[in-house]
Amino acid sequence: MVSFSRQDAVVRAMPAVFVLIWSTGFIVARYGMPHAPPMKFLALRYFFSIACFLAWALAAGVAVLPADRRQARHLAVTGILMHGGYLGGVWAAVKLGMGAGLASLLVGLQPVLTAVWVSSRGGVVSPRQWAGLALGFGGLALVVWQKLGLGEISTANFLLAVGALASITVGTIYQKRFVVPCDVRTASLVQLCAALIVTLPLTLLEAEGVRWNAELVGAMAWSVLALTLGGSSLLFLLIHRGAATVVTSMLYLVPPCTAVMAWLLFGEAITVFTVAGIALTALGVSLVVRSPSPRP
């Protein structure tokens, strides 16, 4: 009985652990930024992640490439959007001065946009979802307005963050529409290879080199092992256990988690406007992604 209760406790804790790991992605961007330019760091991250997934797939006897070439192409598109465009936009925005907390809040609207789009394709967007969308953007506007006076937001880093939001949203919708379920190791290999291919040319535009030191090694190791391998594998397990809805609904906790981490590690200010904006955005996301109540 004890072993079963412990196993149940671990399973119940998995969504929360996933949110905590996901939140650290924005912290790693800030932590590794002084030692490597964004595209070079990401290219190295993709390369090391590919090596790890390849070794894992070969050891497990899993196919390296999907048998269906069309699925391989669909996976490549999602890799370009969900890795290359999303991570590239976030890292470049942070490099240009945007705080980790604000970056996470901006891209944290992804579940809202995805849910509204999916609902609209079915012909129905409920008043509750429209209210959630308005609250989400209202909370974001509150934080952005307050940050304008602190010099944290520029036209360039704001557009890059919005581009990252667009990439992760379109990539998620594309994956829901075109990608069939397959082994996470096979899918990750194709996605990461595609992201590496589009990122490598961008590294030529960066004059700054990579300065290897303990901080950069730590940021790289966490990015590869915890975020890419650990986060992807944990999400895969959660979906197979039927907890995907729980994970989606918990994603609105990422911005406050990131804001607290950024405050503790980098001294990023948490003001009344920040708290109010995060609360409004979290409420908006929860209204959008919440399952509709069953009719009596």
Residue 3 maps to a domain: no
Burial readout 44-57 (b: 16 or more C-beta within 10 A, e: otherwise): bbbbbbbebbbebb
The owner of tokens 């307050």 is: 146
Query: What is d(CA 183, CA 172) in angstroms, rounded to the nearest whole number?
Result: 17
Q: What is the pLDDT of residue 137?
A: 80
Q: What is the pLDDT of residue 150?
A: 64
Residue 7 maps to a domain: no
Nearest Cα to Cα of residue 147 among 51, 278, 252, 2? 278
- The model carries a pTM of 0.84
Q: What is the pLDDT of residue 177?
A: 84
Residue 136 maps to a domain: yes
Q: Which structural domain range is residue 190 located in?
A: 14-289
Query: What is d(CA 70, CA 178) in angstroms, rounded to the nearest whole number?
Result: 9
Q: What is the pLDDT along the chain (296 residues), one digit of tens a residue?
A: 444 456 566 566 677 788 888 889 888 988 888 899 999 999 999 999 999 999 999 999 999 999 899 999 999 999 999 999 999 999 999 999 988 888 888 887 777 777 778 777 766 767 887 888 788 788 878 777 777 666 678 889 999 999 999 998 898 888 888 888 888 899 999 999 999 999 999 999 999 999 999 999 999 999 999 998 887 777 666 655 655 455 556 667 788 888 888 888 888 888 888 888 888 878 887 787 665 554 44
Q: What is the pLDDT of residue 235?
A: 65
Residue 232 maps to a domain: yes
The first and second tokens of residue 168, run together, are 């992760």
Residue 2 maps to a domain: no
Number of structural domains found in the chain: 1
Phi, psi of 109 (to 5 degrees): -80, -5
Query: What is d(CA 288, CA 140) in angstroms, rounded to the nearest whole number?
Result: 15
Phi, psi of 108 (to 5 degrees): -70, -10
Q: What is the pLDDT of residue 296?
A: 46
Residue 1 maps to a domain: no
Q: What is the pLDDT of residue 67?
A: 87
* 180 three-class SS: coil
Residue 5 maps to a domain: no
Residue 4 maps to a domain: no
